[in-house]
Amino acid sequence: MQVPAPLEYERATSAADAIRLLERLGGEARIIAGGHSLLPMMKLRLANPEYLVDINDLHGELGYVRRVGQQVRIGAMTRHRELLESDELHEHFPIFRDAERVIADPPVRNRGTLGGALCQADPAEDLLSVCTTLNASCVIRDSRGDRVVPMEQFYRGPYETAVGQAEMLIEVRLPIRPGGSNAYAKVDLRSGAWAVTAAGAALWLDRHGRIADARVGLAAVGPSTTGIPEISAALRGSEPDAGAFDIAGRIAAESCQPVTDSRGSAAYKRHLAAELTRRTLATARDRILARAEGRA
């Protein structure tokens, strides 16, 4: 039987209370949200916190999807199921529903949170790739106040983020830019499993129907999931056609660093990175055109 090491447990009553507890308890304290990443690691003794600060009572404070000006803001305690079901989010960012449909299973989605998924910083985490693709920014809070960091700075590498010891991720902010849409696709070995490879794409067209901007974020093919700036540079000004998307696919395959493991060979994962990049860009384009023609 796998059992975590003995520990103390505190239930935070607000974000301010959670930060106070983290400050008081010191470096051996860890936040627990849905627990779907932390508890398995504790059972395997890969994580051995002396104190857990449970933030589940903060769902009222930090569980939301709301539009504020030209941003959609999502609280860190928003659960996978809520992201899946949110029409407000789907209107601008269908990529979330694409991703949430293939993340784990209902028990994990009922409990796991956006904040936990991002702070876990597993390079195979689907929402990390989604938020990178969308050029999200993250609000991190400590006892002195909030700071806002872009995803590129938030994610520092596998299992490492910009969130410090007595700090919390509070909110994720997604910029709404006109003329765009987005999509996500994943290949897994069985339904709801972790990705062999996955790709997210966001595309914006100008008034002539050419590509104004494009971003691609990959999952499970190496430590770097950033928006692949070479793809953005190569696509700007092009027609959104198969030729352009082929170029993007080739760049995606070249820029990732997959390893051969039980999920597949490095060569197969590179092939998937190219193919999923092509497909998600095409889906994003089709969604833009469908909206312009009043079909969506």
Sites of contact with ligand FAD (CB under 6 A): 30-38, 40, 76, 103-104, 108, 112-113, 115-117, 119-120, 125-127, 163, 168-169, 192-194
How far is residue 124 from each of residues 1, 263, 267, measured CA to CA in Å?
27, 12, 17
Task: State the sign of the Cα–Cα–Cα–Cα dihedral 238, 244, 249, 250.
Answer: negative
> CB of 198 within 8 A of CB of 129?
yes
Q: CB nearer to ligand FAD: give 49 or 180.
A: 49
CA distance 198 to 221: 8
Burial of 197 (0-12, 13-18, 19+ CB in 10 A): buried
Q: CB nearer to ligand FAD: give 161 or 277.
A: 161
Q: CB nearer to ligand FAD: give 112 or 249.
A: 112
Closest CB 152 distance from ligand FAD, rounded Å: 18
For 50, list phi and psi in degrees, rounded to 5: -85, -25
* Separation of CA 241 from chain center: 27
Tokens of 11: 């239930």
Closest CB 86 distance from ligand FAD, rounded Å: 16
Closest CB 116 distance from ligand FAD, rounded Å: 2
Closest CB 205 distance from ligand FAD, rounded Å: 29
**Sheet hosting strand 211-219, strand order edge to edge:** 180-188, 195-205, 211-219
Tokens of 163: 């969130």
Q: CB nearer to ligand FAD: give 116 or 249.
A: 116
Q: CB nearer to ligand FAD: give 192 or 237.
A: 192
Closest CB 271 distance from ligand FAD, rounded Å: 20
Closest CB 107 distance from ligand FAD, rounded Å: 8
Tokens of 257: 């660093």
Q: CB nearer to ligand FAD: give 104 or 136.
A: 104
> CB of 79 within 8 A of CB of 168?
no
